[in-house]
Amino acid sequence: MAGARAAVRYAKAVLDLAQSQNAAEAINNDMLTISQTIAESQELNDFLQNPVVRSSVKQAALTEVFKGTHDITGKLVALLMDNKRIALLGAVAKSYTQLFAQLQGTQTAKVTTAVPLSGELEQKVLAKVTELTGKAVNIENIVDESILGGFILRVGDIQYNASIANKLNRLKREFTLN
């Protein structure tokens, strides 16, 4: 948990600096790229987490992987490296994008389904969530076959679980209690 708090602090500091230099959106694009790249590459994540690999090697690799990023992003990587917190890079990037979205008045709704959402269904979910929250919403579809069917919708701190797995578990609890 201490790492999560530190990631939010770094993200807030970078957002403040980016806003003062009118580069918040450019940095957000960098952070989206970093977050997505680290999330999709287990090797890169393991590489960043590995305490045996020298900082100079990590910094050289990150500079090569994330070529063409804004100066502020490069300074963030250098700062995390100097503070021996480079393992937090993915969490900092994710926290930054969340803070930037809040600043823009948008929210991310996570919809977990057993199969990917179709474009039409995604638009319906988007319209309903926008209607309920009154804010601009981005939909993030997470595919998890273990829910069997239905969906789990999470917007901020609110979660609605309409999955088949949840309903089956509820029935199972009812039968074991009686």
Task: State which H helix or E strand residue 111 sits in.
Answer: strand 106-113
Burial of 171 (0-12, 13-18, 19+ CB in 10 A): exposed
pLDDT of residue 4: 84
The fold adopted by the segment(s) 2-102 is: Peroxidase; domain 1 (1.10.520)
pLDDT tens for each residue of 135-150: 888 888 889 999 888 8
Residue 58 reports pLDDT greater than 70: yes
pLDDT of residue 2: 57
Which residues in 1-13 are b (16+ Cβ under 10 Å) and which e? eeeeebbbebbee
Q: Which residue ranges make up each domain of the chain?
A: 2-102, 106-177
